[in-house]
């Protein structure tokens, strides 16, 4: 008899639970037909307040995936310690695991998560953000008409080689180092602006070709 009662209970109880959900509002959202609802603690794509950033470098130091590196304004010497405050973080969302450590450690609140949850890109270069591309600061926001101008910015970092990975990583790393050396030569007056521009462009074109190559299926 007890066995029969247990069997009936095990049949009715799940139906009771299922039934209660049948009259509740569904939790599912028909994304992308309708916008997804995100909670306050959502870790969306990062946003930077360019003017609040003090270039302390803590975000890059903390990142476990090494997907943050720094860009100095054009003509500024990165070797001079006094100029460190002028650098701003570039970030590779292709390598980011959205752990939140960089946001947590930022002393000024310049780096935050936005509520943005969409942002698919078709290639790895587009997933790397220069500071101007993800800042919320008016007057500092920028996008690139010419993709080589973006590559020029990123050559200061090691984000391209990291994003390329595999057999291309070392080749790109050497190009980045060579580019930096040329940049120093320009700052030290060993190269004229025209010479620098020509030589740097050659390297940037090569780097772009590699980035296009790594995107091939």
Looking at the Cβ atoms of 111 and 214, the one nearer to ligand SF4 is 111
> Both tokens of residue 92?
């590779």
**Considering the rule CB under 6 A, would residue 110 count as an interface residue with ligand SF4?**
yes
Considering the complex, state which of residue 111 and residue 155 has its C-beta at the smaller distance from ligand SF4. 111
128 binds ligand SF4 (CB under 6 A): no
* Strands of the chain, DSSP E: 46-48, 68-71, 88-92, 111-113, 128-129
Q: Is 53 in the site for ligand SF4 (CB under 6 A)?
A: yes
Query: Which stretch in 75-83, 97-105, 134-142, 144-152 sits in contact with ligand SF4 by CB under 6 A?
Result: 97-105
**Among the listed residues 6, 65, 118, 213, the single contact to ligand SF4 using CB under 6 A:** 65
For ligand SF4, the binding residue among 42, 45, 51, 62 (CB under 6 A) is 62
Instruction: Tell whether the torsion through CA atoms of 200, 202, 205 and 206 is positive or negative.
Output: negative
Binds ligand SF4 (CB under 6 A): choice among 44, 45, 51, 57: 57
CA distance 209 to 203: 10
d(Cα 48, Cα 133) in Å, to the nearest integer? 9
Q: Does 111 bind ligand SF4 (CB under 6 A)?
A: yes
> What is the radius of gyration, based on Cα positions, of the chain?
25
50 lies in the binding site for ligand SF4 (CB under 6 A): no
Measuring CA to CA, which residue among 144, 160, 141, 170 is closest to residue 207? Answer: 160
Residue 97 near ligand SF4 by CB under 6 A: yes
Q: Does 213 bind ligand SF4 (CB under 6 A)?
A: no
Dihedral (CA of 125, 158, 52, 139) sign? negative
54 binds ligand SF4 (CB under 6 A): yes
Question: Of the two residues 129 and 211, which places its CB atom closer to ligand SF4 in the complex?
Answer: 129
Minimum CB separation of residue 85 from ligand SF4 in Å reads: 9
Among 121, 120, 152, 150, which Cα is nearest to 133's? 150
The count of residues interacting with ligand SF4 (CB under 6 A) is 28
Tokens for 200? Answer: 């740097």
Q: How many residues does the chain have?
A: 217
Q: Which residue bears the tokens 């080589």?
A: 148
Degrees, nearest 5: CA angle 112-116-120: 120
CB closer to ligand SF4 out of 96 and 125: 96
| 101: contact with ligand SF4 by CB under 6 A | yes
User: Where does this chain bind ligand SF4 (CB under 6 A)?
Assistant: 53-59, 62-65, 67-68, 89, 91, 96-102, 105-108, 110-111
């Amino acid at each position: 008899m007890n066995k029969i009662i247990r069997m009936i209970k095990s049949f009715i109880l799940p139906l009771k639970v299922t039934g209660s959900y049948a009259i509740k509002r569904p939790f599912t959202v028909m994304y992308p037909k309708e916008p997804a609802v995100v909670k306050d603690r959502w870790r969306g794509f990062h946003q930077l307040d360019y003017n609040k950033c003090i270039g302390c470098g803590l975000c890059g130091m903390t990142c476990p995936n090494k997907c943050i590196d720094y860009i100095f304004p054009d003509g500024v010497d990165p070797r001079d310690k006094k100029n460190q405050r002028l650098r701003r973080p570039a970030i590779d969302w292709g390598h980011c695991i959205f752990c939140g450590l960089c946001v947590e450690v930022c002393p000024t609140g310049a780096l935050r998560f936005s509520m943005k949850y969409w942002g698919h890109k078709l290639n790895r270069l587009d997933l790397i953000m220069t500071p101007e591309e993800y800042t919320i600061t008016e007057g500092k926001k920028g996008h690139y008409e010419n993709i080589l101008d973006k590559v020029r910015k990123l050559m200061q970092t090691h984000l391209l080689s990291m994003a390329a990975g595999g057999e291309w990583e070392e080749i790109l790393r050497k190009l980045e180092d060579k580019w930096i050396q040329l940049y120093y030569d320009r700052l030290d007056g060993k190269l004229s602006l025209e010479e620098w521009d020509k030589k740097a462009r050659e390297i940037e074109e090569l780097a772009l070709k590699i980035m296009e190559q790594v995107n091939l299926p």
